[in-house]
Amino acid sequence: MALVVWAAVAFPTDAPPLPVVVVLTLIPAVFIVGVLLALIQRIKQIQGGEENAASKY
């Protein structure tokens, strides 16, 4: 993401159109946010002891 933004800023004459730059930066950002949300959810699950609670059933 940073490389795409840097290239668009550093070389404005050769940069792709702004919508392309935005799409190329948003795609990885969506994946990063999803992974972080899953990580936070997993940490809460481990701290909450849900794994042990599931063994009761």
Q: Angle at CA 29, nearest 5°, toward 26 and 31?
A: 115
Query: Which two three-digit tokens encode residue 48?
Result: 């909450």
What does the domain layout of the chain look like in residue ranges?
A: 2-48
- The pLDDT profile of the chain, 57 residues, written as one tens digit per residue, is 889 889 889 998 888 899 999 999 999 999 999 999 999 998 888 887 755 666 656
Alpha-helical regions (H) of 1-57: 2-10, 18-48, 50-54
Tokens 């930066």, located at residue? 25
CB 25 within 8 A of CB 9: no
Per-residue pLDDT at 15: 86
